[in-house]
């Protein structure tokens, strides 16, 4: 098995609002090996993006990482200075955001923006020619036709899918070890989404890069990921290999989630729906945050700290499995 590239330990990221503290990420732990693709799944507001931004140390005010460790290649990112962190962002860890229309600057050519990303992390000063060669090479690699001309074009001259290709090009330009992709295809049409997923898979093979794919789309997880972590209200409720989690889900939330997706490939009986809403879940301190909506809820779910129970690499945080291996 490959080495562990990233190890997140008991990460807590809180947002200090005027009257309340929102515990957006509240004790998240997981591991990612080299070349592995982890899907981070959950509904809006579950803390999946906050987890990603914590790894990049880009949590905006009034948010703060209050506890935990993020070991990346053995170093704790939370102990690094801002300057050291800048050397990691965009070089060792690349990031792709949801909206390709907002991620590129409209007043600069895409070639210029790519060369900026390359120069920023270049070990020594590069001459213009070799930078241009690299820019053209990357654009070609991500599937932009005639890159030797198109690097002179501005973002508005590209379609949404092409812009996302350019963003992916930028994220791999310095051959990172890890790419964090936050809903990279959500703004795109389904045929274009499939092309972008193909491109990411192909680059993953080529560079042996690890990917954290943040998404609400379980179809994409099934298609692309090796492992999946299901998040609910700031906590991971279940994590494991994609096949284990999809075929033998353990947490009641995961089970309901999988049965609530209308599928195109099979006739669905009536969809399961999860009663109620996530409202109020973040205020639950000791107990399970899903218990107000859980069909299997027991008394102790209300106020007893949930521990992790594991079956090999498949880990679930739920009192139902007490008595199994802890």
- CA dist., res. 100 & res. 220, Å (int): 18
Q: What gap in Å lies between CA 5 and CA 211, rounded to an integer?
A: 11
Nearer residue to another protein within complex by CB, 42 or 90? 42
Task: Pick from 218, 236, 239, 316 the residue near another protein by CB under 8 A.
Answer: 218
Between 174 and 186, whose beta carbon lies closer to another protein? 186
Does 98 engage in binding with another protein (CB under 8 A)?
no
Segment 33 to 62, residues that bind another protein, using CB under 8 A: 43-44
CA dihedral 217, 223, 228, 229 (to 10 degrees): -10
Q: Taking a C-beta distance cutoff of 8 angstroms, is the pair 45, 221 a contact?
A: no
Least Å distance, CB 249 to another protein, is 11
Q: Is 296 in the site for another protein (CB under 8 A)?
A: no
Question: Which region among 28-36, 123-131, 170-178, 271-279 touches another protein (by CB under 8 A)?
Answer: 271-279
String of contacts with another protein for each residue 167-206, x by CB under 8 A: ----------------------xxxxxxx-xx--------
Which span (125-133, 218-226, 282-290, 307-315) binds another protein, by CB under 8 A?
A: 218-226
Q: Is 181 helix (H, G, I), strand (E, B) or coil?
A: strand
Q: Cα 92–98–104 angle (5° rounding)?
A: 75
Inter-residue long-range contacts of 240-245, CB under 8 Å, 24+ positions, other chains counted: 240/312, 240/313, 240/314, 240/315, 241/313, 241/314, 242/39, 244/313, 244/314, 245/314
Tokens of 224: 């692309």
Judged by the rule CB under 8 A, the positions of this chain that interact with another protein are 43-44, 159-162, 189-195, 197-198, 216-223, 242-243, 246-247, 256-258, 260-265, 267-268, 270-275, 277, 279
């Amino acid at each position: 098995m490959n080495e562990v590239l990233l190890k997140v330990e008991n990460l807590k990221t809180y947002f200090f609002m005027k009257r309340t503290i929102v515990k957006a990420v509240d004790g998240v732990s997981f591991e990612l090996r080299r070349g592995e693709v982890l899907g981070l799944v959950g509904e809006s507001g579950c803390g999946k993006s906050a987890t990603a931004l914590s790894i990049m140390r880009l949590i905006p005010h009034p948010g703060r990482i209050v506890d935990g460790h993020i070991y990346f290649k053995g170093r704790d990112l939370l102990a690094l200075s801002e300057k050291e962190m800048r050397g990691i962002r965009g070089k060792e860890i690349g990031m792709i955001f949801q909206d390709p229309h907002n991620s590129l600057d409209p007043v600069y050519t895409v070639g210029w923006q790519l060369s900026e990303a390359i120069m920023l992390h270049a070990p020594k000063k590069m001459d213009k020619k070799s930078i241009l060669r690299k820019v053209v090479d990357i654009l070609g690699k991500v599937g932009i036709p005639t890159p030797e001309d198109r690097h002179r074009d501005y973002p508005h001259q590209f379609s949404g899918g092409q812009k996302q290709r350019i963003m992916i090009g930028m994220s791999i330009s310095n051959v990172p070890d890890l790419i964090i992709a936050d809903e990279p295809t959500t703004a795109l049409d389904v045929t274009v989404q499939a092309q972008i997923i193909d491109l990411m898979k192909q680059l993953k093979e080529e560079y042996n890069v690890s990917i954290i794919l943040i998404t609400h789309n379980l179809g994409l997880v099934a298609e692309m990921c090796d492992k999946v972590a299901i998040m609910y209200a700031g906590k991971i409720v279940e994590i494991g290999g994609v096949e284990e989690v999809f075929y033998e889900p353990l947490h009641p939330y995961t089970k309901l989630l999988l049965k609530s997706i209308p599928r195109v490939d099979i006739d669905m009986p009536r969809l399961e729906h999860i009663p109620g809403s996530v409202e109020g879940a973040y205020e639950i301190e000791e107990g399970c945050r899903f218990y107000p909506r859980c069909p299997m809820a027991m008394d102790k779910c209300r106020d007893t700290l949930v521990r992790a129970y594991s079956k090999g690499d498949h880990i679930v945080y739920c009192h139902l499995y007490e008595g199994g291996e802890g």
